[in-house]
Amino acid sequence: MHGDDRLCFCCGCGARFKSAEASVANCYRCRDPELPFASVTCLGNYESLLRELVIRMKSQAGSAVALQLGRWLARELNSQPRHYDLVTPMPIFWLRRLRRGHNVSSLLVESICAAGVAGQTDRSLLVATRRTRKQGTLTTAQRFHNVKNCFAISRQADVESKSILLVDDVMTSGATALQAARVL
């Protein structure tokens, strides 16, 4: 293959492609009228230093790394012409949070909110209703099945006509984000 063989992300849906040309909105996956989100923002491809930092932030001692990555993500979000009424982290099941010591997405949200990216924060808007297998160990089809019906809105919340920033630490297949966005 000639040219740039790095993985790139579609800025519409987050799909990964092996071409710099694909890092524009409206790839073939974005044309699906069922997509419940407007766009995806990422810090980069899951490789090299960024991969090492993501792995480190998921460890029990990774809070400081997560907060710094959240600051970088906030800077990226602030450079975009979007307004968010609400920001919320991707929930994890209580047992996984207990084992890890923290929810990485909540730490990212903490940094994002400190930078003034969104009007309001609701860290408990969504809940994980059941235990799931680790997405990183599954095929794409298994990932979608694994997270099916695993999120719920935690209480009566007014999300109608709101622009919501849903924060997750890693997006590969988009299965988790897709399920959470559908619930919202």
Q: With cut-offs at 50, 70 and 90, classify the pLDDT of residue 33.
A: low
Tens digit of each residue's pLDDT (9 = 90 or more) over 85-109:
889 999 999 888 888 888 999 999 9
Tokens of 159: 């999300």
Give the pLDDT band of residue 5 (cuts 50, 70, 90).
low
Q: List pLDDT tens digits, range 57-90.
A: 988 888 999 999 999 999 999 888 888 888 999 9
Which pLDDT score is estimated for 65?
Answer: 94
Residue 150: per-residue pLDDT:
95
Distance between CA atoms of 127 and 149, rounded to whole angstroms?
Answer: 11
Give yes or no for residue 7 having a pLDDT over 70: no
Nearest to 40 by CA among 56, 26, 50: 26
pTM: 0.79
Contacting residues for 20 by C-beta, under 8 A, at least 6 apart: 3, 4, 6, 8
Helix (H, G, I), strand (E, B) or coil at 35: coil
**With pLDDT > 90 as the criterion, what percentage of the chain qualifies?**
34
pLDDT band at 1 (very low <50, low <70, confident <90, very high): very low
Residue 145 pLDDT: 94
End-to-end CA separation in angstroms for the chain: 40
pLDDT in tens, 104-150: 999 999 999 998 887 678 888 899 999 999 898 899 889 999 999 99
| Cβ within 8 Å of residue 33, ≥6 positions away | none
